[in-house]
């Protein structure tokens, strides 16, 4: 079996085809059976049984192909362009399984040879994963809000693993979850996550769905899922896309997303069971849509530029997805989502797109001078495969109980180089890069104790006259909890993680 059969199927630019998705969190129970951990046996069953319940890359690719074949057929039948075809549901669902460090420790506790996972090596090779997202030092580093403001689920100390299941409908996802729970012996080998003790149960999952009236758009109204690193040997490069091969040190982008036994900064190689896996960063990110709209309106009222233009400055793209660096003004081109997808092969050459804009902070596109070369910069790449959650803001403007946001999920071969470097050293840091561009207005964070009523974040944009303006505002996105996971390869799981 090659990579397509070994790597779990969501670790790819296209990810699961999905309208609905659940993230189910579980803890591992460790009763021993015939001197072996019951969970390890269930995991082996899960990864070897047919039909497969955990998807490989090949399976996910086949599902995408099924959709595109049907789309082509319908386009011919109806005599309309493929992009305009509205397909009825093609029933499908796919699942991924991932573990926290606590989960791996629970598995190891039930293995006969308790040194075999070499978790002390993991502490050296992947310290961020080893620490997890919940310790106070990590909250301080990421500038996340204090844990008592997180959703109860993520305050639990019992999250050992997660199932990410995406499908064509809620019904398909529920059925898939039920089948996996059966194989993993829910109630015996795994159980729901509890906050402190079994007497204080908490909802053990969070669900998201594509917005019914605005497919593909997140809650601020932008087209998402345009720019993804492509992987050699797995992706074909489509016209207008940027393969992100502008990486001198690492010519194979696969190495930036899928784990090998690379040594990186550590002198110790990774244990063999970590090959062909990936690290999954999960964060529930609440979006304050009213604050976003107010901010863009203020810019317009001040006479700087239109609110649409302000939105594009914050994001680095127009709502259609067209990059501001390519389409300078709000024209028909900047409104066309089909064109936007074909405009992703660009680099930053001037300040038409603010240096602090979300997509410019998080993907440098060769935007580095010799002076501010960061050794991690060129290998800081992530694949993002999250989904929105919650009710739309529009129509619910006055209901403060209803919330909304993004179930953010990203894959990378190294958390320190990927998510952590982006969040901590780029988005939160107002001095990154040359000069003082300010914080990333979308995901930049300041420590909770320094948040105030007069605005937490500061970013700098030129107005239409080229005058540099300070823009101060409250954080638009609030983290509600999250965790770091490892997504093992299929062979690692069917082989007791290398036993």
Q: Give the residues lining the site for ligand N7H (CB under 6 A).
A: 218, 220, 222, 224-227, 285, 287, 315, 317, 321, 358-359, 362-363, 382, 384, 405-406, 408, 419, 422-423, 442-443, 477
User: From the CB of 424, what's the least distance to ligand N7H, in Å?
Assistant: 9
User: From the CB of 388, what's the least distance to ligand N7H, in Å?
Assistant: 8
Indicate the residue among 6 and 362 with the shorter CB distance to ligand N7H: 362
User: From the CB of 426, what's the least distance to ligand N7H, in Å?
Assistant: 8
User: From the CB of 247, what's the least distance to ligand N7H, in Å?
Assistant: 13
The CA angle 419-100-208, to the nearest 5 degrees, is: 65
Indicate the residue among 54 and 364 with the shorter CB distance to ligand N7H: 364
CB 360, CB 348: distance < 8 Å: yes
Indicate the residue among 95 and 477 with the shorter CB distance to ligand N7H: 477
Indicate the residue among 194 and 389 with the shorter CB distance to ligand N7H: 389
Q: What angle in degrees, to the nearest 10, is found between the helix axes of 289-301 and 307-315?
A: 120
User: From the CB of 320, what's the least distance to ligand N7H, in Å?
Assistant: 10
CA–CA separation, 103 and 164 (whole Å): 16
Q: Give me the sign of the Cα torsion angle 485, 489, 490, 495.
A: negative
CA–CA separation, 70 and 484 (whole Å): 37
CA–CA separation, 76 and 170 (whole Å): 30
User: From the CB of 346, what's the least distance to ligand N7H, in Å?
Assistant: 9
All residues at 6 or more sequence positions from 20 whose CB lies less than 8 Å from its CB, including other chains: 166, 167, 168, 169, 170, 172, 173, 207, 208, 209, 210
Indicate the residue among 363 and 489 with the shorter CB distance to ligand N7H: 363
Quote the radius of gyration of the chain (alpha carbons, Å): 23
All residues at 6 or more sequence positions from 139 whose CB lies less than 8 Å from its CB, including other chains: 145, 146, 147
Give the pairing of strands 190-192 and 20-28. Answer: antiparallel
Indicate the residue among 234 and 477 with the shorter CB distance to ligand N7H: 477
User: From the CB of 486, what's the least distance to ligand N7H, in Å?
Assistant: 18
Indicate the residue among 309 and 317 with the shorter CB distance to ligand N7H: 317
The residue at minimum Cβ distance from ligand N7H is 227
């Amino acid at each position: 079996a090659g990579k397509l059969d070994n790597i779990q199927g969501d670790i790819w630019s296209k990810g699961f085809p999905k309208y609905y998705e659940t993230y189910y969190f579980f803890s591992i129970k460790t009763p021993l059976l015939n001197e072996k951990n019951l969970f390890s046996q269930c995991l082996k069953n899960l990864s070897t049984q047919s039909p497969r319940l955990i998807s490989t890359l090949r399976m996910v690719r086949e599902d995408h192909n099924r959709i595109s074949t049907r789309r082509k057929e319908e386009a011919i039948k109806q005599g309309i362009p493929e992009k305009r075809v509205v397909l009825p549901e093609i029933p499908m669902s796919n699942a991924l399984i991932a573990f926290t460090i606590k989960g791996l420790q629970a598995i190891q506790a039930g293995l006969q040879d308790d040194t075999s996972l070499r978790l002390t090596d993991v502490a050296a090779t992947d310290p961020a994963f080893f620490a997890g997202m919940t310790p106070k030092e990590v909250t301080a580093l990421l500038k996340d809000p204090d844990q008592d403001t997180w959703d109860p689920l993520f305050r639990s100390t019992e999250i050992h693993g997660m199932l990410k299941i995406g499908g064509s409908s809620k019904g398909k996802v529920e059925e898939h979850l039920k089948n996996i729970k059966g194989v993993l012996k829910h109630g015996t080998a795994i159980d729901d996550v509890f906050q402190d003790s079994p007497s204080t149960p908490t909802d053990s999952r969070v669900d998201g769905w594509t917005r019914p009236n605005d497919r593909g758009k997140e809650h601020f109204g932008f087209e998402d899922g345009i720019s993804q690193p492509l992987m050699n040997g797995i992706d074909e490069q489509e016209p207008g896309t940027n393969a992100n091969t502008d990486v001198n040190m690492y010519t194979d982008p696969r190495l930036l997303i899928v784990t090998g036994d690379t040594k990186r900064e550590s002198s110790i190689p990774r244990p063999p069971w970590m090959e062909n896996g990936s690290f999954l960063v999960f964060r529930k990110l609440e979006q304050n849509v009213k604050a976003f709209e107010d901010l863009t309106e203020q810019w317009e009222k001040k006479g700087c530029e239109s609110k649409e233009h302000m939105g594009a400055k914050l994001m680095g793209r127009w709502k259609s997805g067209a990059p501001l660096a390519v389409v300078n003004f709000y024209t028909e081109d900047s409104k066309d989502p089909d064109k936007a997808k074909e405009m992703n092969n660009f680099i930053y050459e001037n300040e038409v797109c603010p240096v602090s804009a979300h997509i410019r902070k998080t993907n440098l596109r060769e935007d580095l001078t010799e002076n501010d070369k960061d050794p991690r910069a060129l290998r800081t790449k992530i694949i993002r495969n999250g989904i929105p959650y919650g009710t739309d803001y529009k129509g619910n403007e006055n209901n403060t109980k209803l919330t909304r946001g993004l179930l953010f999920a990203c894959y990378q071969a190294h958390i320190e180089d990927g998510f952590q470097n982006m969040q901590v050293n780029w988005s939160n840091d107002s001095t990154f890069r040359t000069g003082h561009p300010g914080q990333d207005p979308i995901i930049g964070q300041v420590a909770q104790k320094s948040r105030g009523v007069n605005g937490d974040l500061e970013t700098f944009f030129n107005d239409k006259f080229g005058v540099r303006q300070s823009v101060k505002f409250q954080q638009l996105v609030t983290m509600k909890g999250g965790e770091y996971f490892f997504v093992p390869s299929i062979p690692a799981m069917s082989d007791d993680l290398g036993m």
